[in-house]
Amino acid sequence: MEKERTFVMIKPDGVQRGLIGDIIHRFEQKGIKLVALKLVSVDRKLAEKHYGVHKGKPFFEPTVKYIISSPVIAMVLEGNNVIELVRSMMGKTDPRNAEMGSIRGDFGQFIGRNIVHGSDSEETASFEINLWFKPEEIAKYNRIDEEWLTE
């Protein structure tokens, strides 16, 4: 099993709809370690960099506007294969196709307001973690349950 880090964001609709606790609770229950967390009022520059790979697509501008419309929760999560694990806990991009039991499947209704973001590869994760966090904002600590979460 490979220890990885991923960047996760609770988007403005998740914050406004009071879902911060429910979403973080799911990651905690799964045994995923939280190593960085903050509430951010995102500026356009950061949002455009974050969604830079989608520049030129029809949903780019609406997505940037959505992300800067109200604060988000930004976090870094650590764990075994955590990039893929978080993506599967989030569900498909469009909540209408996301499995029930996933975050988007349970809490979302349509693609333009899909509650959460999670990095999609190791390369993206490292780009996004560096974009959103300074190295000193990422905590190094051991959790007491770690030995029960390794074989």
For residues 110-149, which are near ligand IDP according to CB under 6 A?
A: 111-112, 114, 117, 120
SS3 readout for the chain: CCEEEEEEEECHHHHHCCCHHHHHHHHHHHCCEEEEEEEECCCHHHHHHHCHHHCCCCCHHHHHHHHHCCCEEEEEEEEECHHHHHHHHHCCCCCCCCCECEHHHHHCCECCECCEEECCCHHHHHHHHHHHCCHHHCCCCCCCCHHHHCC
For residues 52-111, which are near ligand IDP according to CB under 6 A?
A: 54, 59, 62-63, 93, 111
- Residues in the interface with ligand IDP (CB under 6 A) total 10
| Binding-site partner at residue 114 among ligand IDP, Mg ion, none, CB < 5 to 8 Å by type | ligand IDP
User: Would you say 63 or 150 has its CB closer to Mg ion?
Assistant: 63
Q: Which residues bind ligand IDP (CB under 6 A)?
A: 54, 59, 62-63, 93, 111-112, 114, 117, 120
